[in-house]
A and B are shown apart, each in its own frame.
Chain A
Amino acid sequence: MSQPLRGKRALVLEDSALVAMELEDFLLGLGASSVGCYATSAEAARSIEHKSVDLALCDVNLRDGSSLALVDELRGRGVRCVLLTGYAEIPDGGAQVESVPVLRKPVSHADLERVLREVVASGAADR
C-alpha cells in the first residue's frame, strides 16, 4: 500500500468515537501519524494549541455546534482540512469554507483517499 500521507500529522474531529476510530485507522494506513481524535471543537482547540498539525478531517456538526469556526482557525494555521457532513447542505456559515473539500457521510474509502491525496498535493504546491 502506498503511503501518500507519510510524515503528515493528522487530526480527527468527529463526535462518534467509532467513526473517528475508523477515520484514524484509515489515515494511519495511508502513512499519517495521529495527533488525536476529538468529539468537540472546544476540546480539539485546547489539545492542539501547542501541537503541530498538517491535516484535519472534521465533521461539520458536532454536539457543541458547528466546527466551522475551528476549521477557519486551523486553515489560518496552514492546516489542510477536509469536511464531513451528514447534512445535504452545509449549514449557516458555509461561505467561510469555500475551497475546502466537503464529503457527504457515509464516506467511501476511495473518495476519502482521493480527496486526501488532492489536499496534500495542493498543500505541497503552495510551498
Chain B
Amino acid sequence: MREPSEADLRIILSHLPEYVVVVDEDGCYSWVNRLDPTLREEDVIGKRIDTYVIVPEEKTEIWQRAQEALNHGKSGELVTLGFREGEYETWFWCRVVPLPPDERGRKRALLVSRDETRRVRAQRALARSEERFRRLVESSPDYICILDERRTIVYANRLGFGLREDELIGQVFDRLVDEPSRTNAVATVDRVLRTGEGAVYESSVGVPKGASLHFRVQVVPWSSDSGEKQVLLVATDVTEEYRANEHRKVLHAELDHRVKNMLALVSALASQTARHSDSLGQFQESFTGRLRSLATTHEALAASGWRGLPLVDIVRRVVSPLAGAQLDVDVPPGIEVAGPYVTPVSLALHELSTNAAKYGALASPAGRVRIEGARGDGADVLVWTESGAATAQSAAEGFGLRLVRRLVEQELGGRVALTLLDDGRRYELRLPRRGVA
C-alpha cells in the first residue's frame, strides 16, 4: 500500500465533514482544512478560535481547552452552540488535542469540530417528549405503576392511600392489595408476565376511616430499558360506577319487593271482595273499583319517587270520580301523606265513597259530601260529612266500614269515629303522620 501524497491529503482533508483546524501558540486559527461557505480566509486565519462561539461560558471553555492542549499537552472535548439566529441554531462538537511544536519550536494544537445540530435537536426533542409523557403520566387521575418480574414496584406515578414513597417503591405489590382481591390480582399479574398478553381485573381496596374504593386495573406487558420483563398497571378508580351499580341492584330488589307486596295486596283484595260479594257481577264491580282507586294513586305515588302525596290529591283522585259535583273539598295543600300510607288512605277513602254511593249521601241527587282536613299534633284529621240524605246504617256496608277501620286503626295506627246526623253522617279519621307505633 502506497501512502497518500501531501497533495492527496489536502484533497482528502478538504472533503471531510469535520472542520480540522491548526491552532497556533496564541490560540488563533493558523490553518483550516476548508472554509465555511459564508466566510472568507481573512475572517478566520489569525482570529482567536473562540471568535465564532457566541455563549460567553462556552467561549471561556473552548479558550481554556485550547490553553490546556497548548501548554499542558492535554486533550479535551465539548459541545458548543456555534451559531444562533432566531429559532435557528447550529451546534458543534469540538475536540482539542495537542500537536507537536512546529519547525521553529512554537506550540501548536489541533481542533476538530463537527456540526452536531441534528443530533442535539433530536436529543432535545426526545427530552421534551419524555418530559411531556412524564407530566402526562404524573397528572393522570389513575394510579400507574411498573412491577418487575418479582412483582416489586419499581415506578409509581404518584403516591396514594397515605403511603410514603419508601412504603411503595421497592415494596412487593401483593402487600398493597387486600384479600379477597389479592389472589386474583397476583394471579393476573403473573399471567401477564408469563404470557405477555394484557389483562384487566377489578379490585377493592379498604381505606382506613372510609368506605372501600373500587379499581379497574389494566395490566399491560412492559419491559425495562435492559429488556427484563415487567408489567405496567393502570388502576382507574371506578368507585362511583361500582356504587351506582350496587345502588341499582338495591333499587331492583326494592322494586321487586314493592311489586310482590302489591300483588299480595291485590290477591287479598280479590279474596276479600269475593268473600263479600253475592254474585260475580257484584264482585267484578267492587273489585275493579278498588283496583282503580289503587292504580290512580299508585301512578301519582310512583311519580313522586314514592315519597308521598298531598292528602288533597288523594281525595281528588279517589273520591271525585264517584262524587262528581256533589263533593266539597276543604283540605289544606300542606297536609302530606307519606309514601307507605298512600295506599291504605286511598283504599279507605274509596270505601267511604262506595258506601256513600250505595247507601249514603251520594245515593240521592240532593246529597252532598264535604271533606275537611286539618293538621293536628303528630296526626292529621280528615272529616267526612254526608248531608242532605238521611240514611240508616245498612248491614251491607259492613265490610267497607270494617275495611276502613282496619286500614286506619290497624295499619295507620289511627282512629275512626262515626257519628250519625239528622240528615247524614260524619266520619272523623285521625291519621298519625308516622303511622302505627
Contact = CB atoms under 8 A, between A and B. Distances in A.
A90 to B, nearest CB: 12
B199 interface: no
B269 A63 contact: no
Interface string A4-32: 00000000000111111111011000000
Contacts of A84: 264
B302 interface: no
Main SS of the interface on chain A? mixed
A105 interface: yes
Contacts of A38: 410
Contact of B260 (A17, A40, A63, A86): A86
Interface string A26-46: 100000000001111011000
B411 A16 contact: yes
B270 to A, nearest CB: 9
Contact of B436 (A18, A43, A87): A43
B369 to A, nearest CB: 23
B253 interface: yes
A86 B435 contact: no
Nearest to B411: A17
B406 A104 contact: no
A19 B264 contact: yes
A13 to B, nearest CB: 11
Given A15-B411, A39-B413, A20 B260 contact: no
B411 A22 contact: no
Given A21-B268, A25-B275, A106-B260, A40 B436 contact: yes
Given A16-B411, A105-B260, A37 B436 contact: no
Contacts of B413: 39, 43
A48 interface: no
A23 B403 CA distance: 14
A61 interface: yes
Interface residues of A, number: 28
Interface in A65-82: none
Interface string B319-346: 0000000000000000000001001100
Contacts of A61: 257
B272 A22 contact: yes
Contact of B410 (A25, A39, A107): A39
A37 B257 CA distance: 22
Question: What size tier do the contact residues of chain B reach?
Answer: 20 to 34
A110 interface: no
A88 interface: yes
A94 to B, nearest CB: 15
B265 interface: yes
B272 A40 contact: no
A87 B257 contact: yes
B257 A106 contact: no
B265 A63 contact: no
Interface string A92-127: 000000000000111101000000000000000000
B224 to A, nearest CB: 50
A88 to B, nearest CB: 7
B260 A18 contact: no
Given A40-B436, A106-B267, A21 B403 contact: yes
A88 B253 CA distance: 8
B1 interface: no
Nearest to A109: B271
B347 interface: yes
B43 interface: no
Contacts of B435: 39, 63
B77 to A, nearest CB: 77
A16 B256 CA distance: 17
B232 interface: no
23 contacts: A16-B261, A16-B344, A17-B344, A17-B410, A18-B265, A18-B269, A18-B406, A21-B268, A21-B272, A21-B402, A21-B403, A21-B406, A22-B267, A23-B268, A38-B410, A39-B413, A39-B435, A43-B437, A84-B264, A86-B256, A87-B257, A107-B267, A109-B271
Closest 10 CB pairs of A and B: A86-B260, A22-B268, A17-B411, A105-B264, A17-B406, A106-B267, A106-B264, A19-B268, A106-B263, A86-B257
Given A18-B269, A43-B413, 9 more contacts: A16-B265, A18-B268, A18-B347, A18-B407, A43-B436, A84-B264, A88-B256, A105-B261, A106-B268
